[in-house]
Structure 1
Amino acid sequence: MLIKEVAEKLNTTARSIRFYEEKGLISPKKDEENDYRYFTEKDLLRLSTILALREVGFPVNEIKVLLEDPSMSIQQYLNIQRSALYEKWIEMRDMIETIDEMVDRTTEDSYLPKDFYALAQHLKNLKSIRKNWTDRWNFDQQASDYDENIKKQGFSFNVHEGYDQALARIVEKTSLQPGNTCLDIGIGTGNLGSKFLQDGIKVIGVDQSEKMLEKCKEKHPQIETRKGHFLALPILDHSVDAVVSSYALHHLPDEEKVIALEEMTRVLKPNGQICIADLMFTDKVHREKVIADFQAVGNQIAIECIADEYYADRSLLTNWFSNCGYQIESYQFNRILGMIYARRHK
Structure 2
Amino acid sequence: MLIKEAAKKLNTTARTIRLYEEKGLISLKKDQENDYRIFTEDDLYRLSTIIALREIGIQISEIREMLKQPGMQMEDYLNLQRSVLYEKLLEMKDMIHTIDQMMEHVDSADFQPISKLAEHLKKLKQIRKGWKDKWDFDSQAIEYDQHIKKAGYTFNVHQGYDVALSTVKQCITLNAKDQCLDIGVGTGNLGGRFLHQGAHVIGVDQSGKMLEKCKEKYPLMEVRKGHFLALPVMDLTMDVVVSSYALHHLPDEEKLLALQEINRVLKSGGQLCIADLMFQNENDRKRVLDMYRLEGNMEAVEAIEDEYYADRSLLIEWLVAHDYEVKAQQINSILSVIYAEK
> Normalising by the residue count of structure 1, what TM-score does the alignment of the two structures yield?
0.97
Q: C-alpha separation between the residues in 1 aligned to 2:299 and 2:307? A: 13
Partner of 1:251: 249
Q: C-alpha separation between the residues in 2 aligned to 1:69 and 1:277? A: 30
Q: C-alpha separation between the residues in 2 aligned to 1:143 and 1:31? A: 37
Task: Decide which moves more: 304-313 or 54-63.
Answer: 54-63
CA deviation map 1:64-107 (0-9, x unaligned): 11111342121111100110111111111110111111123336
Letter in 1 for 2:5: E
Task: Decide which moves more: 294-303 or 59-68.
Answer: 59-68
Letter in 2 for 1:47: L
Give the superposed CA RMSD. Answer: 1.1
1:34-45 mapped onto 2 (5 Å cutoff): 34-45=34-45
Partner of 2:161: 163
Q: C-alpha separation between the residues in 2 aligned to 1:8 and 1:289? A: 66
Partner of 1:58: 58
Partner of 1:3: 3
1:18 and 2:43 are equivalent in the alignment: no
Q: C-alpha separation between the residues in 2 aligned to 1:129 and 1:138? A: 19
Residues 186, 111 of structure 1: alpha-carbon distance in 2 compared, 3 angstrom cutoff: farther
1:233 and 2:215 are equivalent in the alignment: no
Structure 1 spans left out of the alignment, 5+ residues: none
1:151-230 mapped onto 2 (5 Å cutoff): 151-230=149-228
CA deviation map 1:105-124 (0-9, x unaligned): 336xx663100011010000
Task: Decide which moves more: 305-314 or 33-42.
Answer: 33-42
Aligned-pair CA distance for 1:254: 1.2
Partner of 2:335: 337
1:288 and 2:292 are equivalent in the alignment: no
Give the SS at the match of 2:141: helix
1:118 and 2:77 are equivalent in the alignment: no
Give the SS at the match of 2:142: helix
Aligned-pair CA distance for 1:35: 2.6
Identity of matched residues, %: 60
Partner of 1:101: 101
Q: C-alpha separation between the residues in 2 aligned to 1:85 and 1:275? A: 27
Q: C-alpha separation between the residues in 2 aligned to 1:74 and 1:3? A: 19
Q: C-alpha separation between the residues in 2 aligned to 1:134 and 1:221? A: 28
Q: C-alpha separation between the residues in 1 aligned to 2:109 and 2:331? A: 49
**Alignment match of 1:277 (pick from 264, 275, 278):** 275
Give the SS at the match of 1:144: coil
Letter in 1 for 2:330: Q
Aligned-pair CA distance for 1:152: 1.2
Aligned-pair CA distance for 1:231: 0.6
**Alignment match of 1:305 (pick from 296, 303, 308):** 303
> Normalising by the residue count of structure 2, what TM-score does the alignment of the two structures yield?
0.98
The total of aligned residue pairs comes to: 342
Give the SS at the match of 1:105: coil
Q: C-alpha separation between the residues in 2 aligned to 1:57 and 1:64? A: 14
Task: Decide which moves more: 137-146 or 53-62.
Answer: 53-62
Partner of 1:49: 49
Partner of 1:130: 128
Q: C-alpha separation between the residues in 2 aligned to 1:232 and 1:111? A: 36
Give the SS at the match of 1:189: coil
Q: C-alpha separation between the residues in 1 aligned to 2:115 and 2:290? A: 43
